[in-house]
Structure 1
Amino acid sequence: MVEPVSTRTEPTARSPSPLESRRFRRVLMVLLALLVVGWVVWSVRGALVPFAVGAVIAYLLAPLVAAFEQVIPFRSRSPGLCRTLAILLSYGVAGGLLALAGLLLFPPLIRQSTEFIQSIPDYVEAANNQIFQWLDRYQATVPPQIQTQIESSLSSLGSVAIAAIRTALMTTFSAVGAAIGFFSAVVLLPFWLFYVLKDERQGWQWFYNLWPEGWREDVRTIVAITDRTLSAYIRGQLLLGVVIGLATGIAMAVIGMTQPIVLGLIAGVLELIPILGPILTFIIIALVALATEPSKLLWVGVAFIIIQQLENNLLVPRIHGHVVQMNPALVMLLIVIGGALWGVVGMIVIVPLAAICRDVFRYLYHRLGDEPA
């Protein structure tokens, strides 16, 4: 009996279709373009600092522009003109508030800042003298064995802190460069900001169109998650800086400290650095108190305890809400990591960046699972 001959052929590897080849080449082109753009941006990062600040300003002004746009009566007939007018009105409001603040605060701020800078050497010398007096009392009253244990513990802690601060400062200063490009960017910033706000919708539409059709809904969701976390954090942190700066300035004026406006400004700016900012503020103001009137140091400490209780128990829960939701120990670790990577800027941006990555990861984790995202 003759067995039938099998006519089945072995499967051969399928060659890619022309459409797949074109898509693959397009992906390679996009990746190459991203690498080139990333290299250029990184090379001139010092000159792009004003545009980074402008991006934050545009992000903060966007809701105000949208609010003005909604109340302009001819927005449906002339949307372009309506958008332009809304931007100009937002410029006027922001400029008016800055001018009012300048008229009220700039004269005393400039005077007190000049006095503060000129007094820094005297403050340092007086604070050193006061600290040496305390050290003499410490050495005269504390037994030598206990002194050895305390000093070894403080030495280990201090070396770690100094190393972290040195790394942060070196990273920060190494990122500064391209002075000519920096000043030209400052001159162009108002015009750049206008066009960013004017073409915001077209820019987002162009960005969404870059993605495949099946991905766009997920990309929109990720952008919405990022916008929710970032906007809440930035506006909340700026509001915290204003409130804490005002509270600190008023408290220092009541206590009778010199240059209370400058001290309040320092507190408001350092408030942008989570957890570490208030500590640095207290150290600076404590040194000023030691240099001027050491008897007021106790009242400075009481004022900071009250302000921190106000911030932690009333302001932070209401302003940030459930945006960050991070344990303070994790926030401290992130601040050290951000400082080691990107200096002072890293200490400021690392917490919202980590919160955004966490929320996006949660969304994608559920999106790729069986349960609905």
Structure 2
Amino acid sequence: MTDPKKTRKSWFYRWFLNNKATVSLINIFLALAVIWLFANVSWVFQPVGSFIQMIFPPVVAAGILYYLIEPVVKFSESHFKMPRILTITLVFIAIIALLAWGIVSLIPIIQTQTQQMIDNWPKYWKNLQTAGDQLLTVPQLSGVRDQINSQFNQISSSLVKQVNNNIADWFNNITSAVGVIGNVFVTIATAPFVLFFMLKDGPVFKDHILTFVPVKFRQSTGDLLTAINQSLSNYIRGQLTVAFWVGVMFAVGYSIIGQNYALTLGVLAGFLNLIPYLGSFLAIIPALIIAAFTNSFMVIKVLIVFAIEQTIESRFVSPLIVGSKMDMHPVTTLLILLAAGKMFGLLGVLLGIPAYAVLKILFMRFFEWFKVVSGLYEGDESVSLAADQKLETVDSKKEN
């Protein structure tokens, strides 16, 4: 017969080793300790950071183009029974032809309009200041006139100082400028090769990764990779396609109403439309400033073009192309844009949303695993139901 004293667990085992809260706190402490260690020996990872910094631009550029071109390759391969290599070669030839046509036809026009707009922008800015001064002469605004003038002059001087400092830095730091130019050339030279092999080996890429994963985790890892791939493809294809058509609509609309620099403003609108929710509203600001000093009726025309573009985009373009690609609250989107822009600048604004989408999928999968392993959520039907609904949504999008 077993002695109860021998089978009884010690207080250390019961309070610490077998206590879920204590184990969770220990894991958090270990994670923080690892982060602190990495932060204090960052010099060890400097070569790794340099390597990643070198390969990151061409891989990202090739990845974006992959998500745009891959549906064309898959369609040709399945419907026309064309060999994949032949399809990829024809797509590359078409891209080169389009680039050559754009360089010959569109680039000179955009370059001329952009140069004219840059040359005339100081005049527009001075006229805007004059209009603001005239507005401040209204008696009703006399109480805030000095304050507004002070803030306006402070902002203007700050912008001028910032631009001058940046220009000085650019000219003084020749090594940095050469490095940037070198990175651009490396990206242009290597991205097509990376893209070619992405398109060629894309169908077997996931299976190749899964060969390094233990058999027990291959199914869950495969589902995770599929969900991430689907989320990124939906966002990149949808966002870039919508941005293209937004740029086309603005360029055509501005050309019809006779707005100056129509093509340049259209390209600017398409690029800024990559910023969710804010892009189109930011793009119309320079158009309104230019229109205001062309003639008063041009402002109304620009607003009409903006209203028509927003209607077409929201009613037809976005629902057809994008659909419900990202299950994100607008406030979440704005907070991500602000945080990513503050930390990583323009690159953070452009890549913050897809990075969040990937992290969200990883967190949801980890939460599902932790919920089962920890046993802390046993009997919580609402959490289980919500998690199941999330997984069903991801699976349904994956099937579609």
Q: How does the TM-score come out when normalised to structure 2?
A: 0.68
Which of residues 105, 122, 125 is equivalent to 1:124?
Answer: 122
2:139 corresponds to which letter in structure 1? Answer: T
Preserved contact between residue 47 and residue 181 of structure 1 (Cα < 8 Å): no
Q: AA paired with 1:91?
A: F
Identify the residue that residue 336 of structure 2 maps to in structure 1.
334
Q: Choose the corresponding residue for 1:58, options 44, 58, 66.
A: 66
Q: Using the alignment, how far apart are the partners of 2:118 and 2:312 within structure 1?
A: 30
Q: Pick the aligned partner of 1:213 from 202, 215, 222.
A: 215
- Alpha-carbon separation, structure 1, partners of 2:242 and 2:183: 32
Q: Unmatched 5+ residue regions in structure 2?
A: 10-37, 373-377, 379-383, 392-400
> 295-304 or 41-50: which moved more?
41-50
Which residue pairs with 2:28 in the alignment? none
Partner Cα separation in structure 1 for residue 228 and residue 334 of structure 2: 22
User: Does the 8 A contact of 1:230 with 1:352 survive in 2?
Assistant: yes
Aligned-residue sequence identity (percent) comes to 24
Aligned runs of 1:353-364 on 2, under 5 Å?
A: 353-364=355-366
Identify the residue that residue 57 of structure 2 maps to in structure 1.
49
User: Aligned partner of 2:73: which letter?
Assistant: V
Query: CA 1:240/1:141 → structure 2, altered by over 3 Å: closer, same or farther?
Result: farther
Aligned pair in 2 of structure 1 residues 10, 305: CA closer, same or farther (>3 Å)?
Answer: closer
Alignment partners' CA distance in 2, 1:313 and 1:354: 26
SS at match of 2:324: coil
Q: Secondary structure at the match of 2:93?
A: helix
Distance 1:282 1:90, change over 3 A: same
Task: State the SS of the aligned residue for 1:329.
Answer: helix
Deviation at 1:248, TM superposition (A): 0.6
How far apart in 1 are the matches of 2:98 and 2:269? 21
Kindly tell me: are residues 145 and 223 of structure 1, through their superposed partners in 2, closer, same or farther at Cα, counting changes over 3 Å? same
- Given that 2:206 and 2:222 are in contact with CA atoms closer than 8 Å, whether structure 1 keeps it comes out as no
CA distance in 2, matches of 1:272, 1:357: 20
Within 2, Cα distance between the matches of 1:46 and 1:289? 43
Partner of 1:308: 310
- 1:232 matched residue in structure 2: 234
Name the residue aligned to 2:90.
Answer: 89
The 1:63/1:43 distance shift into structure 2, 3 A limit, reads: same
C-alpha contact (below 8 Å) 1:83/1:198 kept by paired residues: yes
Pair 287,37 (structure 1): closer, same or farther in 2 beyond 3 Å: farther
Give the Å deviation of 1:347.
0.3
Q: How far apart are 1:39 and its partner, in Å?
A: 4.9
In structure 1, the partner of 2:105 is: 107
Q: Which structure is richer in relative contact order (CA contacts within 8 A, separation 6 or more)?
A: 1
User: 1:60 & 1:327 partners in 2: Cα distance?
Assistant: 26
CA distance 1:139–1:55, change in 2 (3 Å):
same
Distance 1:222 1:38 in 2: 28
Structure 2 residue 324 is matched with structure 1 residue 322: yes
AA partner of residue 127 (structure 2): N
Distance in 1 of aligned mates of 2:251 and 2:316? 19
Q: How does 1:147-162 map to 2 (within 5 A)?
A: none
CA contact (8 A) 1:323 1:355 kept: no
The letter of the residue matching 2:235 is Y
Partner of 1:79: none
Relative to the length of structure 1, the TM-score reads 0.72
Residues 360 and 182 (structure 1), Cα distance of their counterparts in 2 relative to 1, 3 Å cut: same
SS in 2 for 1:53: helix
Instruction: Measure how far apart 1:234 and its partner are.
Output: 0.8
Match of 2:31 in 1: none
Deviations 1:100-126 (A, max 9, x none): x628xx535413422331342323223
Deviates more, 1:361-370 or 1:306-315: 361-370
The answer to whether 1:293 aligns with 2:295 is: yes
Shift of the 318–325 alpha-carbon distance from structure 1 to 2, 3 Å rule, reads farther
Q: Which moved more, 1:360-369 or 1:298-307?
A: 360-369
CA distance in 1, matches of 2:352, 2:149: 33
- Deviation track 1:313-343 (CA, whole Å, cap 9, x = no partner) reads 4433333222223232222211111111211
Query: Which of the residues 63, 75, 96 maps onto 1:67?
Result: 75
Residues matched between the structures, number: 326
Distance 2:303 2:149 in 1: 24
Secondary structure of 1:274's partner? coil
Offset of 1:344 from its aligned partner?
0.6
- Per the TM alignment, residue 185 of structure 1 is displaced from its structure 2 partner at its CA by 4.0
One-letter amino acid matched to 1:280: L
Contact between 2:124 and 2:293, CA under 8 Å: does it hold in 1? Answer: yes
Asked if 1 retains the 8 angstrom alpha-carbon contact of 2:67 and 2:237, the reply is no
Q: Match of 2:323, SS?
A: coil
Q: Secondary structure at the match of 2:137?
A: helix
Per-residue deviation, residues 246-302 of structure 1 (Å, max 9, x unmatched): 111121112211121121111111111212322221112122223433541232123
- Gaps in structure 1 of 5+ consecutive residues: 12-31, 76-81
Partner secondary structure for residue 244 of structure 2? helix
CA deviation profile, 1:64-108 (whole Å, cap 9, x unmatched): 2223333465x8xxxxxx332232133234444545x628xx535
| Contact persistence 1:46–1:178 (CA under 8 A) | no
Cα pair 1:109 1:261 within 8 Å, conserved: no
